[in-house]
Amino acid sequence: MTDSKYFTTNKKGEIFELKAELNNEKKEKRKEAVKKVIAAMTVGKDVSSLFPDVVNCMQTDNLELKKLVYLYLMNYAKSHPLCTDCEDPNPLIRALAVRTMGCIRVDKITEYLCEPLRKCLKDEDPYVRKTAAVCVAKLHDINAQMVEDQGFLDSLRDLIADSNPMVVANAVAALSEISESHPNSNLLDLNPQNINKLLTALNECTEWGQIFILDCLSNYNPKDEREAQSICERVTPRLSHANSAVVLSAVKVLMKFLELLPKDSDYYITLLKKLSPPLVTLLSGEPEVQYVALRNINLIVQKRPEILKQEIKVFFVKYNDPIYVKLEKLDIMIRLASQANIAQVLAELKEYATEVDVDFVRKAVRAIGRCAIKVEQSAERCVSTLLDLIQTKVNYVVQEAIVVIRDIFRKYPNKYESIIATLCENLDSLDEPDARAAMIWIVGEYAERIDNADELLESFLEGFHDESTQVQLTLLTAIVKLFLKKPSETQELVQQVLSLATQDSDNPDLRDRGYIYWRLLSTDPVTAKEVVLSEKPLISEETDLIEPTLLDELICHIGSLASVYHKPPNAFVEGSHGIHRKHLPIQHGSSGPAAPVDQPQVIPSQGDLLGDLLNLDLGPPVNVPQVCSMQMGAVDLLGGGLDSLVSDPIIIMHPTLCGWKNIIYVLLSNSWSGPGLISVDFLLLLAVLNFCVLQVWLPAAKAKGLEISGTFSRRQGHMYMDMSFTNKALQHMTDFAIQFNKNSFGMIPTTPLAVHTPLMPNQSIDISLPLNTIGPVMKMDPLNNLQVAVKNNIDVFYFSCLIPLSIFFVEDGKMERQVFLATWKDIPNENELQYQIKECHLNADTVSGKLQNNNIYTIAKRNVEGQDMLYQSLKLTNGIWILAELRIQPGNPNYTVKNTLNEKVCPNLWPVLYNIIWMQLWMYYS
Amino acid sequence: MISQVFILTTSGDHLIYKDFRGEAGVDAIRTFYEAVTALSGDQPPVVMVGLGVQSHKGMHFVHVKQGGLYWAASTKSNPSPFTVIEFLNRLAALTKDYCGSLSEKSVRMNFALIYELLDEMVDYGYIQTTSTDMLKNFIQTETMSSKPFSLFELGNVGLFGAETQQSKVAPSAATSRPLMFTRGDQGGNEIFVDVIERLSVIIGSNGVVMKADIEGEIRVKCYLPGCSEMRIGLNEELSIGKSQLRGYGMAVRMDECSFHQAVKLDEFDAYRILKICPSQGEQTVMQYQLCDDLPCAPPFRLFPTVERDIGNSVALNVSVTLPIPKGSVSLSQELSSPDQSAELQSKNKALQWDIPRFPGGAQLSALFKLEVPGLSSASLQEVGPVSLCFELPKHTCTGLQVRFLRLTPTQPGSSQRWVRYVTHSDSYTIRI
């Protein structure tokens, strides 16, 4: 300690001692010292010079010491050196003090800082003013109410008109941040006058200030196109700024305001031209900058491809680009590929396909396939390029090529089948399920052109049980196709595969698909042929565009993290869920509502490609005898792709798994309506199946390609949520997790979601999630509503579903007879409800047996005047008893339900009972 | 808004840590370090971490690597990553300006200075200024220089602005010297103007240039204490923009250029003169691009032989990389000079031929024989494309020249002005 030299007079000796004690290592000593200081303070001695030392003592767990320190702080906050420094003649010191003040994040103390801050906001030195502006934002974070009460927001607004551009920029930045958490989002009050001030300041302030101002401008909605144009004109010079952040912020403003300009005006066209050079310039930076730029350009290209359509060359890959830059460039190249430049693009892609990096090569091969599908004129060249690549025999290249060739076959049927022979040569080298499945599909689809198709398919059959499900299913269908085309030679083969699929397989999907084919083939081969070999719908070109509304939102966030992740900010910024989303401005005025933008339709999935094996063009089923209303156009039955064509959530008859059972249901509903397409024998199949209702909870379009359908069930006394996840996006999905919101029954998952392998595109996975009811309870409306969040590597998705009450019926729901009688009488009449069940033709014993299977127990049975009376009880997991009386007269069963606690449960009981009885009925008929 | 800024060594030591918004604790650094070390080469630099970790939920890190150090910023909101990357680069550049060089040692020695810089540069996560002119008014701490400066090391050819993929080219010592802001020391009267071009070329297998780009910049590093205005005259016949008609003259062309914001362009249109008041330190005055249609033929050709058609100059550190079929086991070579070398890098499936000095107008030839067991016609497809790395000092491909460099007011004493040119390969590829 050399501080002693500062203390020259004896008078300060005491202070010096205190100082030493305050810095003592022992906690006790420090406490004593603080007490002495307080004592000195109380008697009126000036101990303010000890401020830093006392503040030091604040770092303690000792409450007593802490309180003492606060006592001191309260007293001296006003004479705090910071406050006095705010009056210092040197503006640097004033600014430093104001800056530091904002960093003391103690609520009480900030009160003393209001006065100095107010002075600093009006300081004559701009350096102080700009620092004070930021300080308001700091203060708002600590105590928002106070900032408002003290009128600091108004002072900030005044600073927008400041003469110094730096002050303006900081005021804008502070106001922007405050308005994000402020209920009154129009805090910034953007009006033409203010905008004009901002534009003036824009030319003069530092590059960083320009970013604040441009970001703020992008939130402004000009009232007409003239205003939009004049703002654009003043922002355009920023495009040639050396700082790429400034450039991108300017691009954001222009992209937004372009919406407002008439598309045929000269200015619109010039502006589009001006946008391209700066975007190209961004690509000359470091790889990090390039990556960020490319992610943004990816958005811009999707929104307005015309901006960069001439510049495809700059997206050609350099050999020394890092791989993440290469992949992004490739993506943009495909988006920009057109008839005009396809030759160049293709030449490039071919080069890339011989590079070293496996991921990159795969993507390049896939890109060639996409070119073929996108630009019809180039398809032939693409195919020959792919053939060249197959000749290289590089394993992963061949496999990737075969997968894309299958897609090309789908897009241009009966054009390139001559190459099949070449493909078949590579059969043995395929080891990835995707490629094997693609190859098998090709062989099955074109079996009539391949002489040895049966041998080829037979060779796959040897290791049938070691194949992945995808390959097994494809193989099954391919052999059935083969059989239908060449029935004479392949009878044995089809027998073999059907028995492998139905008898030796544990996979219900496979087994059931096998059964369907078997029945179809044995019942009516002509129909089978019509069904299995029906015409397939063509596939579409753009499959991985961002959904237009999301794209528009992301355009509003150009240059921000959101544009890099391609996710809206509320998906990753904490606490921003309540914030209103940004929208592109809508053109208004004379031209009326904006014409629909000419954008390619987005197909959320490529679903029809992979699992698609037989395509039935069924009309909407007539006379659907079920609770659900099905809307079906062309139904891709086996691919599980039913839903991609259906807008509303639909209900599919389903056991625990997804996919093929749609067929039965559709066929079934058809058979009821008309002449027997399917024999009664076939219907008996249904009896084997444990039907329940599977519902699409989360359609793929709402969850970036993830589709979740599911149902609840109760098995062996445990509750399960049986779900089927289907990946309809182009990328694989990993890192699944699930979470329930609080719900009426306190239902939570017992185990985490067990999805261990990545879900590849077009695959689906079935999950049984065990549940229990020990979670937090919150009453929902309706009572059985459950809100679920599912996360994967792409995003977090939310949906809600209704839990069928029946899964809460516990096994020990059988009430003692005596208790039942007593309770029944005690329940007041207002807790009683009555229902009629129509069209039930069961006798009492059958009903009671079937209800018992669902944990509804019959306590007693009486026969009164020819009517059977059943007295039943059930218990919910939360201990609520429900008692019921079932009166059965032929054709008119009548349910009286009472419960012991809460009558509100009852309304939900009705559909449950209805379902149970109806289902049993249905089973009985089949 | 930037939440924290920190500088880490590659081994994870904290050199600098500054929290601006109190949104996360120091342990965010560890989260970042774990994330960044787990990054494999094929992952992009904007990292999002901590979605699972409760305390760092929604923490985003953006980093750049310079001088062997991680310069990282964390944020919780949705800022522009460009702003952050640009800022971090600027911070590194400023640190270099102030401390002379960019290394762990210099950062350690000047930590107080860097904190002071950060304090002025960022307030509550808002970037305030990064210009040395502004900052020098506020900075009180003095630089601790790690090594004494000597002007005699100027002979080296390497330029300061030239960050190449060839790290062998060391920056010249002349520019790794701290700025002396407060006093005009002796030896401080120097100004460097560098014209640096990076060349990306793809030559097809038939020898036709498929794509050729030049990215160029003019950088100024100024040690002059009191220079109010500098005038840089460029070629008078300089046309900018794609659409401009051009005659047969020797006009220098560029497609697009952008300027530092301090550059005054009032004489640019008529006389191609850039006027700037250079701040002390290093800055990029002008950046430009030229796509396709190069004014001169690309400097290297390669058929079976490498051919050069540039007169009276020398290329340095040329290295030729040729991807070869995998499974190549050995290489025999015939090179034309003993200082060249060729080696087989079986890990990268490539052959590298290094030519330390390549005289202008010369032709070098090399014959490589590879032994590939089980060679098939497909293996031949794996050969190529050839990529070249090189450096051409005293040469610009666009032909851009600095005609003159005038300083006002005229500097007292002997001020030294240096104008240097260099062209680097960025991505120079010849397909086979």
Contact B126 A212 (CB under 8 A): yes
8 A C-beta contact, residue B1 and residue B79: yes
With a CB-CB cutoff of 8 Å, which residues 39-58 of chain B face chain A?
Answer: 41-46, 48, 51, 57-58
Asked whether the predicted pLDDT for residue A737 surpasses 70, the reply is: yes
- Please say whether the beta carbons of A355 and A397 come within 8 A: no
Top pLDDT among B367 and A167 is at A167
CB atoms within 10 A of CB B321: 20
Q: What count of Cα atoms within 13 Å lies in the side-chain half-sphere of residue A395?
A: 7
Q: Does A277 touch chain B (CB under 8 A)?
A: yes
Running DSSP on this structure, what letter comes out for residue B87?
H
- Which one of A177, A351, A577 makes the best mutation probe of the B interface by having the most chain B beta carbons within 10 Å? A351
Chain B contact for A560, CB < 8 A? Answer: yes
**Range of lowest pLDDT (A97-101, A805-809, B287-291):** A805-809
Mean pLDDT of B344-349: 74
Cβ–Cβ gap A292/B46 under 8 Å: yes
d(CA B154, CA A342): 51
Nearest CB to B82 within list A212, A245, A359: A245
Distance CA A326, CA A476 (A): 39
| C-beta separation of A411 from A375 below 8 A | no
Nearest CA in chain A to B283: A242
- Which of B55, B76, B82 is the best residue to mutate to test the A interface, defined by the most A CB atoms within 10 Å of its own CB? B82
Distance CA A498, CA B144 (A): 82
DSSP annotation of B426 reads E
pLDDT of residue A921: 42
Q: Does A273 touch chain B (CB under 8 A)?
A: no
Residue entry with tokens 């020098």: B136
Asked if B86 lies within 8 A of A243 by C-beta distance, the reply is yes
With bands split at pLDDT 50, 70 and 90, how would you rate the model's confidence at A250? very high
A19 CA to centre of own chain: 59
* B352 vs A contacts (CB less than 8 Å): none
Q: Is the pTM of this model over 0.90?
A: no
Q: State the Cα torsion A813-A818-A820-A822 to the nearest 10°.
A: -150
Give yes or no for a contact between A396 and A357, defined as CB atoms under 8 angstroms apart.
no
Q: Given A99, A242, A323, which is nearest B41 (Cβ)?
A: A323
Residue B60 near chain A (CB below 8 Å): yes
Spatial separation of the C-alpha atoms in residues A913 and A806, rounded to whole Å: 8
Nearest to A102 among B80, B124, B258 (CB): B124
pLDDT at A108: 67
Q: How far apart are CA A387 and CA A542, in angstroms?
A: 23
pLDDT category at A516 given cuts 50, 70, 90 is confident
| Chain A neighbors of B21, CB-CB under 8 A | 141
**Residue B58 and residue A280: Cβ atoms within 8 Å?**
no
Whether B365 contacts chain A with CB within 8 A: no
> Is the pLDDT at A334 greater than 70, yes or no?
yes
The predicted-structure confidence for A203-232, as pLDDT tens digits, reads as follows 888 888 899 899 888 888 888 888 889 999
**Chain B residue with the nearest C-alpha to that of A141:** B21
Contact in structure between A457 and A444 (CB atoms under 8 Å): yes
CB B13 within 8 A of CB B6: no
Question: Per-residue confidence at A296, pLDDT binned at 50, 70, 90?
Answer: very high
Give pLDDT, residue A461: 84
| Residues within 8 A of A (CB atoms), B 256-315 only | 256-261, 284, 287, 289, 291-292
What is the ipTM metric for this complex?
0.72
Whether residues B258 and A280 touch (CB distance < 8 A) is answered with no
Residues in A touching B43 (Cβ below 8 Å): 324
Q: What is the gyration radius of the CA atoms in chain A, in angstroms?
A: 36
Please report which residue ranges of A283-419 form alpha helices under DSSP H: 287-303, 323-336, 342-352, 358-374, 379-391, 395-411
**Strand-pair category, B416-430 with B190-203:** parallel
pLDDT tens digit sequence for B77-105: 878 888 888 899 889 888 888 887 788 88
Q: What is the pLDDT of residues A370-386, one digit of tens each?
A: 888 888 888 888 898 88
pLDDT classification of A254: cutoffs 50, 70, 90? very high
Contact criterion met (CB below 8 Å) for B295 and B398: yes
Nearest to B381 by CA among A393, A381, A316: A393
Q: Which member of B78, B83, B215 has the closest CB to residue A211?
A: B83
- CB within 8 Å of A735: residues ≥ 6 apart: A791, A792, A793
Question: Span A675-679, mean pLDDT?
Answer: 30
Least confident of A202-216, A704-718, A847-861, B167-181: B167-181
Q: What is the dihedral of CA A825, A830, A833, A834, to 10 degrees?
A: 80
Q: Is the pLDDT of residue A103 over 50?
A: yes
Percent of chain B whose pLDDT exceeds 70: 69
Strand order in the sheet with B300-302: B300-302, B306-308, B363-364
Average pLDDT for chain B? 73
Q: Name the residue of chain B whose CA is nearest to A560's CA.
A: B80
| Euclidean distance between CA atoms A334 and B193, whole angstroms | 41
* Mean pLDDT, rounded, of chain A: 74
Residue A436 at interface with chain B, using a CB cutoff of 8 Å: no
Tell me which chain A residues have a C-beta less than 8 angstroms from the C-beta of B349. Answer: 356
How many Cβ pairs closer than 8 A exist between chain A and B?
Answer: 188
Residue A648: what pLDDT? 27
DSSP string, A5-18: GG--SGGGHHHHHH
User: Which of A138, A347, A560 is closest, CB to CB, to B80?
Assistant: A560
Model pLDDT, residue A918: 46
Contact B211 A316 (CB under 8 A): yes
Cα A171 from Cα A32, distance rounded (Å): 46
Helix, strand, coil abundance in chain B, percent, nearest 5: 15, 40, 45
Q: Does A212 touch chain B (CB under 8 A)?
A: yes
Cβ of residue A324 closer than 8 Å to a chain B Cβ: yes
Tell whether B138 lies on the interface with A, counting CB pairs under 8 A.
yes
Q: Identify the band that residue A297 occupies on the pLDDT scale cut at 50, 70 and 90.
A: very high
User: What are the chain B neighbours of A564 within 8 Å (beta carbons)?
Assistant: 44, 46, 81
Interchain CB distance below 8 Å, A292 and B85: yes
Residue B81 to residue A561, Cβ atoms within 8 A = yes
Question: Which residues from chain A sit within 8 angstroms of residue B130, using beta carbons?
Answer: 206-208
Nearest-by-CA chain B residue for A295: B44
Contacts of A322 in chain B (CB under 8 A): 41-42
Q: Do A284 and B289 touch (CB under 8 A)?
A: yes
